Amino acid sequence: MIQRLLTVVTWTIIILTYLALVPILALEARYSLVGRNPGLEPKVVESTTFDQLSRGSVTVTIVEKPMDPWNGYSLLKRACSCESWGRPDMEPRQFRDGVVLWSDYGTDEVGACQISVHYWGGKSMEMGLDIINSIEDNITMAKYIYDEDENGLTPWKWSESCWGTD
């Protein structure tokens, strides 16, 4: 009976500790200016093994919640969805049928957010971003452009009839 009570107490402590740590571990950054955006893949934060009395051991692994790359940029996400799908309610895509998504109009816009390689290619390389082959880097560059532009979505104005609000 006492052993069973200890087991219940131990699990309660483990669960409460986990629930207390989850909000702390779900840290989010606006965007990464150097290198890849690390927030898109789950990451093991801590793994601990607890020995139980005569019952073996239990391993508890805390995994950091993947960051939403669009947090704080919902209108930009709508614009990028329009750019890559032609409608505002889809998850923006970097590839079409396994091939990098280039503009259908013969211009040099590429990827999920249809970023102009002519205008932004140099800056993206300075920042260590691969806007052609990486959706994470394409989104990171789009956030940078959005933040730098005084009107935010000027570079995506041609598709405003798709993403704009009434």
Claim to verify: residue 42 and residue 60 sit in the same structural domain: yes
What is the pTM for the complete model shown? 0.61
pLDDT of residue 137: 94
Q: Are 92 and 113 in contact (CB under 8 A)?
A: yes
Domain edge (last residue) among 36, 64, 92: 64
Claim to verify: residue 57 and residue 88 sit in the same structural domain: no
pLDDT of residue 152: 82
pLDDT of residue 55: 61
Decide if 161 is inside a domain.
no
Decide if 130 is inside a domain.
yes
Full residue range of the structural domain in which residue 38 is found:
2-64
Claim to verify: residue 85 and residue 149 sit in the same structural domain: yes
pLDDT per position as a tens digit, 102-124:
988 878 999 999 999 999 999 99
Claim to verify: residue 86 and residue 57 sit in the same structural domain: no
Claim to verify: residue 78 and residue 151 sit in the same structural domain: yes
Decide if 84 is inside a domain.
yes
**Mean pLDDT score of the chain, rounded to an integer?**
76
What is the C-alpha to C-alpha distance for residues 130 and 34, in angstroms, rounded to an integer?
11
Decide if 151 is inside a domain.
yes
The tens place of each residue's pLDDT in the chain, 166 residues long, gives 666 655 655 666 666 665 554 444 433 333 433 334 444 455 555 566 655 555 666 666 666 666 788 988 999 999 999 999 999 999 999 998 889 999 888 789 999 999 999 999 999 999 999 999 999 999 999 999 999 887 788 999 999 999 986 4
pLDDT of residue 39: 47
Structural domain count of the chain: 2
Rounded (5°) CA angle 51-56-61: 60
By C-alpha distance, which of 148, 94, 98, 78 is closest to 119?
Answer: 148
What is the C-alpha to C-alpha distance for residues 43 and 112, in angstroms, rounded to an integer?
24
pLDDT of residue 51: 59
Decide if 164 is inside a domain.
no
Decide if 119 is inside a domain.
yes
Domain edge (last residue) among 37, 64, 91: 64
pLDDT of residue 29: 36
